[in-house]
Amino acid sequence: MLPRSIQVGELAKAFDHSVVDVMQALVNLGLMVTINQTVDFDTAALVAGELGLEVVPEELPTVAEAEAEEAVPAVREALWTDADPSRLRERAPVVTVLGHVDHGKTSLLDAVRQTNITARESGGITQHIGAYQVEHKGRKVTWIDTPGHQAFTAMRARGAAVTDVAVLVVAADDGVQPQTVEAISHIRAADVPMVVALNKIDRNEADPDRVKAQLAEQGVTIEEYGGDVPLVPVSAKTKQGLDDLLDVVLLVADVRELKADPDRPAVGNVIEAHLERGRGPVATILVRTGTLERGDLVVAGTAYGRVRAMIDDRGKTINKAEPSRPVEILGLPDVPEAGDVVRAVPDEKTAKAVVEAEQRRRAAGAAGERPATLDEMFAQAKEGKAKELQVVLKADVQGSLEAIRGSLAKLPQEEVGLNVIHAAVGDITESDVTLAAASNAVIVGFNNKLDAPAKRVADHLQVDVRLYKVIYELLDEVQKALVGMLEPVMVEQVLGHAEVRQTFTSGKTTIAGCMVADGLVRRGAQARLMRGGAPVYDGRIGTLKRFKEDAREVAAGLECGLTLEGHNDVVVGDVVEAYAVQAKARG
Ligand code: GDP
């Protein structure tokens, strides 16, 4: 399965071969390209031939059974998330609330919800289904009801980056705390815009200026200080500032121009799911694009079923759910996992094909496509695959953390960057591990340990955790990873020289009768024709014969007859220099 054109680096990944192999194959085909250049399908197919692989042109999941063939356009539609731009309509932003424990995340979520239920609906009972929607000035905003960066990053690690705006809750009386710092790293790593909700502003101990300065120390510069992060003082208790918070969330969302196509089959993500007696598997789905309708056939993860009923966050039965709307659905045969993708499909045939594509994707993931260990980094490194090493850094005390951070920043990184996505004091926790998994990072620990739950998650998500007791060793290993990651260099190796002793013509072709002076000459090898010490031709050896027989190689001291591809100007006294180009790792 290959697209019409593909970058060399991507091609190597697709073939599960090293960049060095792929570049070598391209060289063998007479193409000198760099890792970032794009080749077309035909070239990719030739490379595949060189590597002994077969390829199929198409980006579609190849559906094994022929009977599924006609379902393919539907599979494409189901897997495809973005539609024709003219069909896109504005959708509600999806907000996640993060911050330190007890700073008021849950209280804020409750306050926003209670304050913004429209009059028409206020009689309804609120149902906690994992997410809810409120209306503010005629516009909708979706809030994920599970606060905290654990859930946020766990979803992201599973490929479900549903959050459009992150609200960082900081208690005005307590300021920036360890989990605030963690939350900041998680938000940054996800590249999601942040709004600070400065909570508990009603308290006498509230000290907004101190919090603003602490945020600045963490690199979060609020608008008032000339940065781009809005800060809204609020109180979940008195409800002060909640309208402003919603205003700001919508403003930030507007910059992102959040859109979806409501007129296509729905694609969403599972927010949470469980088994309920009498109701069977119950899953809350956040619709990302399209409209989910009651009766739709949906694939959730690797199972499919018909949506028997849909219930919204007010406990009301509904028939349709548009983009950004959270709904609880009944009718799935199995309990899916949070983060699983849900897709509406037209028929069972398509459902089967989509399940198959998903199983294939999972198998590929399980085979270690995504997570990078430092060893894999070294390896990828040697092949020039990775361009930036992502690191989560934890150390026992602030002093060593700063020292290591400073030294890491000084490592040479002209070609391969080092990006510390989170640095903090303490043992390595589950949250560090999910962050690393979601960001393809390695965890580097100094004088600390991995707690038991973190170890379990690290094993499960295959995150590489490296613990050190000596700073020098830590720096040395990271440096090796960086150096190894350099792109391969193309090295030329001269194979040998052959002197032209006589020339013959056969039709229009000139055959050079040669004596191999040193090394060897090879059929198909790259070759230069040297005349008076200067190259007059650079191409390939075409045919190569020993007496009348075709030969693959002719070694020093032997005579041979050869032709140069597309070149007939050969005279006695010229020298044919055969050479090979090899891709080699640097450093
Ligand atoms: P979470 O751990 O971040 O979800 O925090 P909670 O929402 O559970 O709140 C922790 C405590 O702070 C609770 O006792 C809340 O009543 C209190 N609290 C939350 N928001 C406010 C607020 O704006 N003002 C005051 N005074 N107390 C608050």
- Please give the structure tokens belonging to residue 514: 């040669």
DSSP bridge pairs for 583:
490
Measure Cα distances from 534 to 400, 423, 565 in Å. 59, 57, 19
Does 235 contact ligand 1 (Cβ within 6 A)?
Answer: yes
CB 130 within 8 A of CB 272: yes
Helix (H) or strand (E) holding 134: strand 131-136
Which residue has its alpha carbon closest to ligand 1 atom 9?
Answer: 104
Q: What per-residue confidence (pLDDT) applies to 232?
A: 98
Q: What per-residue confidence (pLDDT) applies to 59?
A: 36
What is the Å distance from ligand 1's center to 452 Cα? 30
Q: How many residues does the chain have?
A: 587
Which residue has its alpha carbon closest to ligand 1 atom 25?
Answer: 200
Measure Cα distances from 100 to 80, 147, 198, 467 in Å. 37, 10, 12, 26
Q: What per-residue confidence (pLDDT) applies to 168?
A: 97
For 463, the 3-state DSSP assignment is coil
Torsion of CA 411, 458, 14, 377, to 10 degrees: 20
Helices 19-28 and 374-383 cross at an angle (nearest 10°) of 20
Helix (H) or strand (E) holding 110: helix 105-115
Does 179 contact ligand 1 (Cβ within 6 A)?
Answer: no
Selection from 30, 27, 26 nearest residue 47 by Cα: 26
What is the Å distance from ligand 1's center to 103 Cα? 6
Does 223 contact ligand 1 (Cβ within 6 A)?
Answer: no
Q: What per-residue confidence (pLDDT) applies to 92?
A: 96
For 282-305, write each residue's pLDDT tens digit: 999 999 888 999 999 999 988 899
What is the Å distance from ligand 1's center to 248 Cα? 21
Does 241 contact ligand 1 (Cβ within 6 A)?
Answer: no
Which residue has its alpha carbon closest to ligand 1 atom 14?
Answer: 102
How many of the other CB atoms lie within 10 Å of CB of 368? Answer: 11
Predicted TM-score of the model (pTM): 0.64
How many of the other CB atoms lie within 10 Å of CB of 475? Answer: 17
Which residue has its alpha carbon closest to ligand 1 atom 16?
Answer: 107
**CB within 8 Å of 114: residues ≥ 6 apart:** none
In whole angstroms, give the CA distance from residue 429 to residue 431.
5
Which residue has its alpha carbon closest to ligand 1 atom 22?
Answer: 200
Selection from 496, 562, 559, 565 nearest residue 537 by Cα: 565
Selection from 137, 130, 141, 205 nearest residue 167 by Cα: 141
Which residue has its alpha carbon closest to ligand 1 atom 10?
Answer: 102
Mutate to test the pocket of ligand 1, among 96, 97, 107, 235 (most ligand atoms within 8 A of CB): 107
What is the Å distance from ligand 1's center to 108 Cα? 8
Does 105 contact ligand 1 (Cβ within 6 A)?
Answer: yes
Does 107 contact ligand 1 (Cβ within 6 A)?
Answer: yes
Please give the backbone phi and psi of residue 224, each rounded to the nearest 5 degrees, phi first.
-55, -30
CB 271 within 8 A of CB 336: no
Atom number in ligand 1 closest to CA 100: 3
Please give the backbone phi and psi of residue 372, each rounded to the nearest 5 degrees, phi first.
-115, 125
What is the Å distance from ligand 1's center to 235 Cα? 9
How many of the other CB atoms lie within 10 Å of CB of 279? Answer: 14
Please give the backbone phi and psi of residue 509, each rounded to the nearest 5 degrees, phi first.
-90, 135
Atom number in ligand 1 closest to CA 110: 7
How many of the other CB atoms lie within 10 Å of CB of 239? Answer: 14
**CB within 8 Å of 225: residues ≥ 6 apart:** 212, 216
What is the Å distance from ligand 1's center to 195 Cα? 18
Residue pLDDT tens, the chain, 587 long? 566 567 777 777 777 777 777 777 777 766 666 666 777 766 777 777 777 776 654 433 333 333 333 444 455 455 544 456 778 889 999 999 999 999 999 999 999 998 876 545 555 567 788 899 999 999 999 999 887 777 788 777 776 788 999 999 999 999 999 999 989 998 998 889 999 999 999 999 999 999 999 999 999 999 999 999 999 999 999 999 999 999 999 999 999 888 888 988 888 999 988 988 888 999 999 998 889 999 999 999 888 999 999 999 988 999 999 999 999 999 999 899 888 889 898 888 888 877 877 777 666 554 334 444 555 555 555 555 556 788 999 999 888 898 898 888 888 777 678 889 899 889 999 889 988 888 888 899 999 998 888 988 888 888 889 899 888 888 888 887 776 654 556 778 889 999 999 999 888 889 999 999 999 999 989 999 999 888 899 999 999 998 888 889 999 999 999 999 999 999 999 999 999 887 665 44
Domains with residue ranges and CATH for the chain: 5-60 (no CATH), 92-257 (3.40.50.300), 267-360 (2.40.30.10), 376-484 (3.40.50.10050), 489-584 (2.40.30.10)
Distance of alpha carbon 438 from its chain centroid, rounded?
Answer: 9
Does 103 contact ligand 1 (Cβ within 6 A)?
Answer: yes
How many of the other CB atoms lie within 10 Å of CB of 415? Answer: 14
For 368, the 3-state DSSP assignment is coil
Does 147 contact ligand 1 (Cβ within 6 A)?
Answer: yes
Q: What per-residue confidence (pLDDT) applies to 375?
A: 59
Selection from 264, 271, 255 nearest residue 289 by Cα: 264
In whole angstroms, give the CA distance from residue 109 to residue 464.
35
Selection from 258, 246, 242, 286 nearest residue 93 by Cα: 258
Does 199 contact ligand 1 (Cβ within 6 A)?
Answer: yes
**CB within 8 Å of 217: residues ≥ 6 apart:** 176
What is the Å distance from ligand 1's center to 166 Cα? 18
Q: What per-residue confidence (pLDDT) applies to 390?
A: 86
Mutate to test the pocket of ligand 1, among 96, 97, 101, 102 (most ligand atoms within 8 A of CB): 102
Which residue has its alpha carbon closest to ligand 1 atom 18?
Answer: 104
How many of the other CB atoms lie within 10 Å of CB of 219? Answer: 10
CB 168 within 8 A of CB 187: yes
